[in-house]
Amino acid sequence: MSEKILKWLQSNEIIESELSYCIFSMSNKGYKPGNKHIDVIGSNENILRLKVCGVEIKTEREVFNAGAFTAMTKLECPNCITDRFEGITPQDFFTDNCTEEQLNRFDTVFPEFDKWTNNENASLICPHCLKESNLINYKTDNSIAFSNFGFTFWNWPDLKEEFLMELKAKIGTDIVRMNGHI
């Protein structure tokens, strides 16, 4: 699948064909914007002036979370339909304004993310109903996504809806879109 999408992006000149150091990584390379990248963002934002402006393609099992710069805001139990993080705002999380019990709700999730990434059984016990459920049965919002295929458009503005719909059709599944800021 990744090769098919890569070739499609390259043949439509959305990204260049050669890998280069254009993403936020010292060890991985990405694809610089192609001659027609403006077609997918709608206007000339002059992103080519930026050193970090490429597209990174990931093809390994991963918990995508906008570079860990976006707080998880929803992880809803499949049994009681209650949000694990109910009452905790991103501002609370980032300003250490959480109780120890609230922080524990986050801390118990991260080892399960690692298990899921490593193809191990990953489950959580809901702090509300106390039932255990498989991690991927929890409903999330666009702050995290579980997949083995993803793109990071480093420093690109919002992508046009038409492009996202065409990409969705090419991939054959829903797309989870998230924004992160460093």
DSSP readout, 22-49? -SS-SS--EEEE-TTTHHHHSS---GGG
**Average pLDDT score over residue span 96-110:** 83
- Per-residue pLDDT at 149 exceeds 60: yes
| Range of weakest confidence among 95-104, 112-121, 168-177 | 95-104
- Per-residue pLDDT at 86 exceeds 70: yes
pTM, 2 dp: 0.80
Q: What is the mean pLDDT of the chain?
A: 89
User: Taking the mean position of all CA atoms in its chain, how far away is CA 144?
Assistant: 6
| Range of weakest confidence among 5-14, 21-30, 57-66, 89-98 | 89-98
Non-local CB neighbours of 182 within 8 Å, separated by 6+ positions: 24, 67, 69
Could you tell me which residue, 132 or 178, shows the higher pLDDT?
A: 132
Q: Which two tokens stand for residue 45?
A: 């934002």
Judged by DSSP in three states, 1 sits in coil
Residue 156, pLDDT score? 93
Cross-strand partners of 30: 20
Name the DSSP class of 180. -
**Average pLDDT score over residue span 89-110:** 80
Residue 69, pLDDT score? 54
pLDDT band (50, 70, 90) for residue 70: low
